[in-house]
Structure 1
Amino acid sequence: MKKLLAFALIGFSTIALADEVETAAAQPVAAQYDYSQNLDIAKVISLSTLPNVCEVVPATMTYEDHQGQRHTIEYRAMGDGCSNG
């Protein structure tokens, strides 16, 4: 009975691991953006939330190009914590 339980647990963990691998493969790898690049952005999917600090912070954007492919880029942006006065 213990062997049967062990085989069942191994089977379930293998299925769960396969699901995680598929999810990771579905997400595009983030590329470092350079301001000299021309991006083909048809639709912005998501933007990272900028922290409430007054300094340059890392940010990401996921977008879809005109061919329907998704891309994720990493870039640097000014945080939302700066005041104008």
Structure 2
Amino acid sequence: MHKILLTLALLAGLAAQVQADEEAIAYRYGMTLDIAEIVSITPVADVCGVVPVEMTYLDSHGAKHILQYSEFGTGCSN
């Protein structure tokens, strides 16, 4: 039983380290991106104005990246 708990604790620690290593990078105009596959994009907030959005993607080498950029919210009506 102790071996199972130790293994679970080790796996949880590794998962936390991987998540901590994946900090979002802010997009800059003209930035060169190597996007091979989009994993996910956070939903755009339902507000009228510019809001931050994060896209998680894999590059051509299979490395995961998180890109933060601004998008206009979906809460505006004409």
Per the normalisation by structure 2, the TM-score is 0.76
C-alpha distance in 1 between matches for 2:65 and 2:28: 14
Any gaps of 5 or more consecutive residues in structure 1? Answer: 1-7
Give the count of matched residue pairs. Answer: 74
2:51 maps to 1:57: yes
What RMSD in Å do the two structures reach over aligned CA positions? 2.0
Any gaps of 5 or more consecutive residues in structure 2? Answer: none
Deviation at 1:18, TM superposition (A): 3.7
Per the normalisation by structure 1, the TM-score is 0.70
Q: 1:25 aligns with which of 10, 14, 17?
A: 17
Over the matched positions of the two proteins, sequence identity in percent amounts to 36
